[in-house]
Chains A and B, each alone.
Chain A
Amino acid sequence: MTRMRALALAGFAAVVSGCARSVQAPAPTPADIPALEAARQQRPNDASVLTRLGIAYFDAKDYTKARDALRATLVVEPTSYAAAVYLGLSYEELGNLDSARVSYNRAAGMRITSGQREELTARLTLLTRKELQQDARNALAQEAVLTQSAPVENTIAVFPFRYRGANEELRPLERGLSQLIVTDLSKVARLRLLERERVQALLDEMQLTDSGRVQSATGARSGRMLRAASVVQGTLQDQPGNGSQLRLDANVINATNASVTASGAATDRLQQLFEVEKTVVLQLLQKMGITLSAAERRAISERPTADLQAFLAYSRGLEAEDRGDFQAAADQFNAAVARDPNFRTAKDKQAQNQRMAAAMGTTPAQLAGIQGGVPTGADRPQQPGTPTPRVITLRNVITGSVPSHGGLITGQVGGQPPLQRPPLPEAIQTDDPRTGGLTGQIIIIITRP
């Protein structure tokens, strides 16, 4: 009985010691910067100090110094999730969105929880929006160069339609119809459609007036900045003399010379909106000289939903998304899905906007998983397994002085990033066999330990 109790106690002790958490300090603040800089002077290879310093610089909005400290952290400790996340955030603030994406992807490649992975996915979705906005700004800044560049063949940008009518409830269809036409034209194999969001970002950056959106010259100018060969513009208006009917007009503008290369128009009741849109799309394709295959024609004839109210809610969601109100957008997409549970695009958009809304409310500390504090390394005597800057050095000299089969095999499998692996091959690290078998030099062929 005593023996059994001893076993149980030993097991308990093992659990307690093994599960001991590393010592955490409160997340650093800008006030800690002088002390952390002094600590870095003393321990320049201490990943904990470098991470804390990087976070403090970030909070002080000194993003360049934050970037440098966090990059240094990742050299010392390549698997630091907090450093990779804060580095991504620093790059975002510095406007280097490509590097931010690389940093987030690096963090996503680490051993993290499913919750952290979801947060990173949402952050990357938000980053995509920022990239579209940055692309639009760059396009405007480089307009002179871009307008001289040849467009990408068969690339089409669809502008939001302009609603000319009295019923303000239908105004969201400006975006909904645009998205619908993008979806339908993208079913044609030879056409390459630019994402609606990319086009919208440029128009937002250009701050076009409503009328500007339908002028062919403006369309051509925007198309050249997007390197699109053609631009689709159009209007939706109440039919004069018959208020219950709507007329949809659309033109395909050649982005190089602003000429109209194809036109389409159809009129019907609001309830027949999808038929009207399909008619116009087929007219445009025919006038563009595109012969559709049976499969393409069938794909274009598919409707995202049969419920006009669901589509209106979806269109309101696009409006909200474009103005950055992701929670409102998620609510609208949710309303669309509530009316038509088979409205798949709305369902996807709902999930995406919900993620982005959550990401907007996530603090950097939460994203980096340090809301409970940052590991200090101060608990090292109790946790010799936790890395210090010396671990790599120690591992290196131990491998060189007392090599073993087990150690060498381990080094070949994933456990250590190349940064920490000795480059020497096994033969050099192990022992001292006599050599020369290939050239016949061998005198005594006895392998010795």
Chain B
Amino acid sequence: MRTSTKAALAMVAALAAARGAQAQDDQLVTATSFITGIQGRGYSVKDGPDTRQFAFPIALIMPVNERLSVDIGTYYASTRSEVSGAATTVSGLTDTQVRGSYVFGRDALVATVMVNIPTGKKQTTAESGVLGVAAANFLSFPVNTYRTGLSVTGGLAFATEAGAWNLGLAGSLRMSGEYTPFTDDNLKYAPGTEGRIKLGVDRTLGTSRLAAGFTFSTFGNDDFSNLSGGGNGTYQPGNRYIGELSMSFLAGNGTLTGYMWDFYRQKAGGTGSANQENIFSLGANGSWPMGRKMRIEPLLEARFWSPDQGSGRLFGGGAALQIPMGEKFTLSPAARFDLGKYEFTDGSKHNITGWGASLFVRYEI
């Protein structure tokens, strides 16, 4: 028995060594890494909500063998929102997501399966307002959903070269099970199937790299039942379109990237809600060495939000550091600050200030 334990330990050590040997920054299948840290983000709207969130991410990335890799991730998050002196805080785990990717051939085709395990905190109906703010695409909180239902997403990604271009095409289908979002309500929610297609292209242009992408998502109808008061209904999520463009340059002994993206969501149907929105973002970030090991990564960004009613804009800047601490640890502190304007649905305009700070620790096993 002791001998077999030793053999098992030897095998684990051998696997770890084998995975370590594969470690390279540019690999699709990376070295085994454990990542944790803390992320904080807050927004304060004058005469509006003051919301802040602290999230503790936990992720394990692991190449099982040369073709199969798995990542597991979840967060513990605490979100607090205060409106007119009344504060609500929601704290707890989020759902856990397990994703496996298998590479066929020479990086030509990758099959991916992701399972969302509903480990997240169930919310009360009173807490849903806080989570609604955290879910805003425009604000980009680290955690925008605590708990949904069990879902499985399967996807295939394909890449090839066409002359100077690299072309990538990926498609996925997400099938979700019915779940009860609230602890104090019997509402049952059954999301429709989501289909997603992403096209990506990139190429080098002299000493620059150009990349562009387009994502289209479409959804089946969501059905809900047992709504308070006994109602049933259907919600038809609007299609989503995301366009991305980025250009990276060698700048000194680092890289500089200019980017823009646009997110457009069509109006939903079935409930009468008018939640069409468009978010356009323009920014630049870079990465330069500081000293022998550390890197600094400054960021400047502008973001514009155009929903059905109202509007918002944010101008932000910040910087991150990548600090290797020996062979195994990497420390990544970051901070940013945003200023902007928010227009409420009643046409009134309010200043908004935002902040963000994070500290990640990565340990390579």
Contact = CB atoms under 8 A, between A and B. Distances in A.
A410 to B, nearest CB: 5
A427 B144 contact: yes
Contacts of A432: 194, 217, 219, 237, 240, 265
Contacts of B155: 398, 401-402
A390 B168 contact: yes
Contacts of B30: 410, 415
Contacts of A445: 128-129, 131-132, 135
B108 A390 contact: yes
Nearest to B70: A406
A418 B297 contact: yes
B7 A8 contact: yes
A76 B277 contact: no
Interface residues of B, number: 173
Contacts of B217: 432
A414 interface: yes
Nearest to B37: A413
Interface stretch (A67-75, A159-167, A220-228, A233-241): A67-75
Contacts of A419: 209, 248, 255, 257, 287
A115 interface: no
B136 A396 contact: no
Interface in A307-360: none
B77 to A, nearest CB: 11
Given A44-B163, A443-B273, A444-B273, A418 B206 contact: no
Contacts of A417: 25, 255, 287
Residue among B135, B244, B322, B362 with max Cβ neighbours from chain A (10 Å): B135
A439 B168 contact: no
Contact of B15 (A14, A68, A408, A427): A14
A389 B166 contact: yes
B135 A435 contact: yes
A142 B342 CA distance: 58
Contacts of A11: 7, 10-11, 13-15
Given A15-B18, A445-B131, A4 B342 contact: no
Given A414-B362, A420-B26, A74 B137 contact: no
B57 A435 contact: no
Contacts of B116: 449
B57 A405 contact: yes
Interface centre among A18, A433, A439, A441 (most CB of B within 10 A): A439
A406 B145 contact: no
A289 interface: no
A414 B30 CA distance: 12
Given A15-B18, A407-B99, A439-B307, A75 B250 contact: yes
B207 A75 contact: yes
A78 interface: yes
Contacts of B13: 11
B114 A385 contact: no
A12 B297 contact: no
Interface stretch (A25-33, A103-111, A178-186, A296-304): A103-111
Given A79-B25, A419-B257, A435-B137, A447 B148 contact: yes
Contacts of B99: 402, 404, 406-407
Interface in B272-294: 272-275, 277, 279, 281, 283, 285-287, 289, 292-293
Given A44-B164, A390-B161, A410-B71, A418 B285 contact: yes
A4 B159 CA distance: 42
B17 A15 contact: yes
Nearest to A70: B207
A384 B73 contact: no
A245 interface: no
Contact of A448 (B140, B141, B237): B237
Given A394-B28, A412-B358, A19 B108 contact: no
A306 interface: no
Interface string B20-38: 1110111111100101010
B106 A102 contact: no
Nearest to A121: B292
Contacts of B134: 437
Contact of A439 (B65, B96, B135, B344): B344
B198 A425 contact: no
Interface string B304-337: 0001111010000000001010000010100000
Interface string A235-254: 00000000000000000000
Given A10-B11, A79-B26, A385-B29, A439 B148 contact: no
20 contacts: A14-B18, A15-B17, A75-B204, A77-B26, A385-B66, A387-B27, A392-B166, A393-B167, A409-B59, A410-B35, A410-B61, A413-B360, A414-B360, A418-B286, A419-B248, A419-B255, A437-B49, A439-B342, A445-B128, A447-B181
The 5 closest A-B pairs by CB, nearest first: A18-B18, A405-B73, A406-B71, A437-B132, A406-B73
Given A75-B250, A423-B246, A438-B49, 12 more contacts: A44-B163, A384-B107, A394-B107, A396-B211, A397-B170, A398-B157, A401-B112, A402-B153, A403-B114, A406-B71, A435-B137, A439-B344
Interface of A: 3-4, 7-8, 10-12, 14-15, 17-19, 43-45, 68, 71-72, 74-79, 102-103, 105-106, 108-109, 111, 380-398, 400-410, 412-420, 422-428, 430-449
